[in-house]
Amino acid sequence: MPQYLPNTYRHPLPNGLYYDMIRVRPGVFVMGSEEEEADSDEKPEHLVRITQDYYIGVYPVTQAFWKAVMNGHNPSRFQGEDRPVEQVSWQDIVEGGQDDSVPAAFLTQLNQNFASEIPDYQFRLPTEAEWEYAAKGGQKTALSSEQVQSFLKTNQPKAAELYTAYAGSDQLKEVGWHEQNSHQETKAVGMRGLNKLGLHDMSGNVYEWCQDCFDGNYYEQCKKEGLVEDPEGPDSARYRVFRGGSWLDYPRLCRVSFRPSWRPALRSNHVGFRLVLAPVQR
């Protein structure tokens, strides 16, 4: 692991393009929600410790970024260099080979041909916990040791007392594109407000694939551990998680704790992704 990590990282790509990322420092947060509008798979609230630094994209991956890595291929319905790439499946991003249009995975191409300048770090999808921690503000809203002990003893403070409903605001129109303001299309990234960590578009615009398999009872397992470190989801499942809501969704589905899922081969015009840059697993 590098001795020094900058707080921001600008990853260079061909033709003068780059991908801006922000360093997320370790910390403890309350994952999930027990609000009235929360679904059963968002419960119970539980403590998660992120134990190591990682970087996360300031924006979702744009069509220009995808094209630079994938030799000009662009599957998106709503065309625009600065709009999020969509109609890309989890399999297209991680494994490739779903069909002839994406024979090699995006992450394979990116890590082989445009390697990070930070030693021993490589690009991947965020885990569900990494995504939610960053959306809720990362180290900017991390719990103190006193709050951790209080939660372990009394289940207080609640997530609603600590975080905004959406990534950066309790008013979705300030930070996200959704059914009421999107005109039924994606928008260029970065046009709405940012969250406490400095991230755009984590609520609305497009859903974002995460690394994890989905299990509706997984939070129950985590709660039993008291304080779970760097959870990566269940070992296997039919579905993969995506997060954040989209341009066609009503506000409840754009909350930071909402956790839908679908088959990893899904390609949809309201699903894209965001990258993390994290230490290589040994």
pLDDT category at 172 given cuts 50, 70, 90 is very high
Domain membership flag for residue 260: yes
The whole-angstrom separation of Cα 169 and Cα 102 is: 37
Domain membership flag for residue 151: yes
pLDDT digits (tens, 9 = 90+) for 186-197: 999 999 999 999
The tokens describing 91, both together, are 């399999």
Domain membership flag for residue 1: no
Q: What is the DSSP string of 156-170?
A: -S-HHHHS-SBTTBS
Domain membership flag for residue 2: no
Q: Once rounded to an integer, what is the mean pLDDT over residues 213-223? A: 97
Domain membership flag for residue 173: yes
pLDDT above 70 coverage of the chain, percent: 99
pLDDT digits (tens, 9 = 90+) for 231-241: 999 998 899 99
CATH code for the domain in which residue 183 is found: 3.90.1580.10
pLDDT category at 281 given cuts 50, 70, 90 is confident
The whole-angstrom separation of Cα 243 and Cα 245 is: 6
Q: What is the DSSP letter of 242?
A: E
Q: Once rounded to an integer, what is the mean pLDDT over residues 151-177? A: 98
Q: Is the pTM value of this prediction over 0.95?
A: yes
pLDDT above 90 coverage of the chain, percent: 95
Total domains, the chain: 1
Residue 190, domain extent: 8-279
Domain membership flag for residue 104: yes
Helix (H) or strand (E) holding 10: strand 8-12
- At 254, give phi and psi (nearest 5°): -100, 5
**Helix H segments across the chain?**
63-69, 90-94, 106-113, 128-135, 145-154, 159-162, 172-175, 218-225
Domain membership flag for residue 137: yes
Q: Please tell me whether residue 131 adopts helix, strand or coil conformation.
A: helix
